[in-house]
Chain A
Amino acid sequence: MPLWAILFLILGLGAAAWTAARARARTFAGGPARPHSLPGHHGWYVALWATIPALAFLAVWSNVSAGLVYEQVMASPEAASLPAFDMQRHAILAEARGLATGQVTTAFNPQAHGIAPVYASAMHFWSLIGLAAALLIAFAGGGWAWTRMSPHFRARTRVERLVTALLLLASLIAVLTTAGIVLSLLFESLRFFARVSPFEFLFGASWSPQMAIRADQAGSSGAFGAVPLFWGTIFIGAIIAMAVAIPLGLMSAIYLTQYARPATRRWMKPILEILAGVPTVVYGYFAALTVAPAIRDAGLTFGIPASSESALAAGLVMGIMIIPFVSSMADDSIAAVPQAMRDGSLAMGATTSETIRKVLVPAALPGVVGGVLLAVSRAIGETMIVVMAAGLAANLTANPFESVTTVTTQIVMLLTGDQEFDSPKTLAAFALGLVLFLVTLALNVIALRVVKKYREAYE
């Protein structure tokens, strides 16, 4: 009997327990004592006792049972002929398991056919034990809860205590995820830094991880200097993209908030928001297919040798993607400038544009700067546009027509090959990820602090 069938059986038992307990609790109503809890609460109390311990057992059992089956198969006379070498034995056993469950029909290794029946009987035996134990626990739990039912029993308090605990548990998942990210990045990065010195990684100027595949070269070749990656990321994400996004985003926000009629604003703003909703893979495809060749051709007509994977193409498209982000942050901070400042400026005879340039934008500047920092943090973490449109060559160049590579591009390239997981090449991806995580985190913290401080100034 497969695990999911036992699962449904137990859930069915829970439903039955709920109905039965609720029906029994209804009879309390006519009695001499005023019942403390509603029938539904009694129902839930019994149902939870019937299901939760049994489900917990199943969760443990699903991890343990494979080992028990393995032990029994290994103890059988048929397994004596298996090769002692671990990898070979595991391959044969995996095939036998496939045969036993019917997932595969013919095995590559003839020995697997001999072991398959043993495997099947062992699995059958242990799944019966598991089923029996799960049912026993379900009935025991439900039965115990059933005996506690009485008009005075505070079922509602107990059920609600469990629900509250569940709520707390759900919100802890966010903390667990954060901890998981930090720990996994840190752990793998430490393994990387055990082979390549952090100093070399952070300040080395040469990046060619492919060379380090050979074991004798790992860590000694100087191939893991990430400075060209950091520069490429900053060049594309923080310089070219922002050169596009800041003027366009800021001016759009100014036009939509200060000049456009409300009706125009109502349909223009969502259209700009669509720019942020287009998947990045679409932008990447567009950058690689349309923008990059156009830039190369334009470069050729002006006599500039341009790479077909120029930094300009990726940066331009990324800038377009960031426009709505900058625009909505600027919108918020301009709206937060007190009306009195605007009115005062207009009353002194300044035109609208003078008011905007001399009063509103300077007053909103901290908020705009905060928004730009958030936009930068998003741009440097952006992956697909640069993977598809930027190059792989780790150049240290300030020429936007040449190709540069970024941190995210390299993470994708390092992890999508078929190499073993422990090589410095794959571990380097985690070190890059750690740097990226820390930098985006710092940018966000600073940006939020700037925005918050500025809000307080006007409150």
Chain B
Amino acid sequence: MSKRAPTDWNGPVMQRHIRRRYAAERRFRLLGLGAVLLSAGFLAFLLVTIGAKGIGGFSTAFLTGSDATDPVRAGIWGALKGSLLTLMVTIALAFPVGVLSAVYLEEYAPRNRWTDMIEVSINNLAAVPSIIFGLLGLAVFLNFMHLPRSAPLVGGITLALMTMPVIVIAGRNAVKSVPPSIRDAALGIGASKIQVVFHHVLPLALPGILTGTIIGMARALGETAPLLMIGMRAFIATPPGGIGDPATVLPVQIFLWSDEVSHGFVEKTSAAIIVLLVFLLAMNGLAIFLRNKFERRW
């Protein structure tokens, strides 16, 4: 057995070796930083480009008018009102159904094949491409049930089907995070199962459910493809009066204007994007605020 000489750490060969390894370490680190900065830089570039183009498009006429063939008179209010009506329908349907299913799955569902089927379909629905929901809306709501075309009613129902899985998943997590001791205490003093859920668990889970709901609604607000399928791409020159009237929504209006050849519409499209982004930012900000203010660690 030959005797091994101790490593010469200060020798030129070893020093070069160590330097090379440290350089590789720095390169890798910079690569990571580069990736983060590149992604963030792209976001900044996108926002600045749109902002610079769109800021000139704002005027009173733009904020109060509806779609027009002339870019000078074209406004966003009609599309915004359509979006609000659609979201009203969406939340009125998706929120109760989503919360009730979350409660059922977390608190009542027996462990059996039937429940598995419900869970699998909810998880799959959350991953189905949005355009498929548009096809469903076209085939079932328009061609089979003959609901009015281009109406916020149909758009709202379609988006509700899309948003519901998001609310269910958020709701289940919120209900799950309520500690069992709360339920045991309520059951112990004679509350029924329903009273436990509706008087104690749901109020405590509500902030989490609301956060998930707002995030789901923000996604629904930005959704375009399914609404194109059900005909919400018509030229609508007056704001809709109700959920049965033909209407368009913000993202679809952006899509329609982006197709216009007239140069003035570039400015209007960018301005409409700013309006949409402001709404999305406000909704997400509200969700973050709710989470930070009411979230409880048990």
Residues of A within 8 A of B (CB): 156, 160, 163-164, 166-168, 170-175, 177-178, 180-181, 184-185, 187-188, 247-252, 254-256, 258-260, 268, 271-272, 274-275, 277-286, 288-290, 320, 323-324, 351-354, 356-357, 374, 377-378, 380-384, 387-388, 408, 411-412, 415-416, 421, 429-430, 433, 436-437, 440-441, 444, 448
Complex Cα distance A282/B97, Å? 30
B200 CB, nearest partner CB in chain A, Å: 15
Task: Confirm or deny: B60 has a beta carbon within 8 angstroms of a beta carbon on chain A.
Answer: no
* Beta-carbon contact of B39 and A173 below 8 Å: no
- By CB atoms of chain A within 10 A, which of B25, B135, B280 has the most? B135
* Beta-carbon contact of A279 and B104 below 8 Å: no
A285 / chain B contacts, CB cutoff of 8 Å: 50, 254-255, 258, 269, 273
* Beta-carbon contact of A160 and B255 below 8 Å: no
* Beta-carbon contact of B35 and A251 below 8 Å: yes
Residue A384 contacts which of B138, B221, B255 (CB distance < 8 angstroms)?
Answer: B255
Chain B residues 184-215 with CB under 8 Å of chain A are 192-194
Q: Which 6 A-B pairs have the closest CB atoms?
A: A381-B129, A255-B32, A279-B222, A251-B35, A170-B100, A353-B28
* Beta-carbon contact of B258 and A408 below 8 Å: no
* Beta-carbon contact of A415 and B229 below 8 Å: yes
A353 / chain B contacts, CB cutoff of 8 Å: 24-25, 27-29
Residue A277 contacts which of B100, B128, B168, B284 (CB distance < 8 angstroms)?
Answer: B284
Complex Cα distance A167/B193, Å? 13
Task: Confirm or deny: B42 has a beta carbon within 8 angstroms of a beta carbon on chain A.
Answer: yes
Q: List 23 A-B contacts (CB under 8 A).
A: A164-B108, A170-B100, A171-B168, A173-B97, A174-B125, A174-B168, A178-B124, A181-B133, A184-B140, A248-B35, A248-B39, A268-B40, A271-B43, A277-B218, A278-B222, A279-B224, A280-B225, A282-B276, A320-B39, A352-B25, A384-B251, A415-B138, A437-B128
B50 / chain A contacts, CB cutoff of 8 Å: 282, 285-286
**A-side binding surface: helix, strand, loop or mixed?**
helix
* Beta-carbon contact of B29 and A374 below 8 Å: no
- By CB atoms of chain A within 10 A, which of B27, B28, B122 has the most? B28
A359 CB, nearest partner CB in chain B, Å: 14
- By CB atoms of chain A within 10 A, which of B36, B109, B192 has the most? B36
* Beta-carbon contact of B127 and A374 below 8 Å: yes
Complex Cα distance A259/B96, Å? 43
Complex Cα distance A380/B129, Å? 8
B179 / chain A contacts, CB cutoff of 8 Å: none
A45 CB, nearest partner CB in chain B, Å: 13
Complex Cα distance A444/B49, Å? 35
Complex Cα distance A394/B133, Å? 25
**B-side binding surface: helix, strand, loop or mixed?**
helix
A380 / chain B contacts, CB cutoff of 8 Å: 129
B264-298 contact mask (Cβ, 8 Å, vs A): 1 or 0: 00100100010011001000100000000000000
Known contacts: A259-B29, A279-B224, A281-B251. The answer to whether A383 contacts B34 by CB under 8 A is: no
B24 / chain A contacts, CB cutoff of 8 Å: 351, 353-354
Residue B280 contacts which of A248, A277, A384, A441 (CB distance < 8 angstroms)?
Answer: A277
A219 CB, nearest partner CB in chain B, Å: 21
Task: Confirm or deny: B33 has a beta carbon within 8 angstroms of a beta carbon on chain A.
Answer: yes
Chain B residues 70-128 with CB under 8 Å of chain A are 96-97, 100-101, 103-105, 108-109, 117-118, 121-125, 127-128
B19 / chain A contacts, CB cutoff of 8 Å: none
A248 / chain B contacts, CB cutoff of 8 Å: 35, 38-39
Of chain B, the residue at the smallest CB distance from A290 is: B49
A250 / chain B contacts, CB cutoff of 8 Å: 35
B54 CB, nearest partner CB in chain A, Å: 11
* Beta-carbon contact of A252 and B258 below 8 Å: no
B34 CB, nearest partner CB in chain A, Å: 7
A164 / chain B contacts, CB cutoff of 8 Å: 108, 194
B275 CB, nearest partner CB in chain A, Å: 11
Complex Cα distance A241/B269, Å? 25
B194 / chain A contacts, CB cutoff of 8 Å: 160, 163-164
Complex Cα distance A161/B179, Å? 25
B16-31 contact mask (Cβ, 8 Å, vs A): 1 or 0: 0000011011011101
Task: Confirm or deny: B139 has a beta carbon within 8 angstroms of a beta carbon on chain A.
Answer: yes
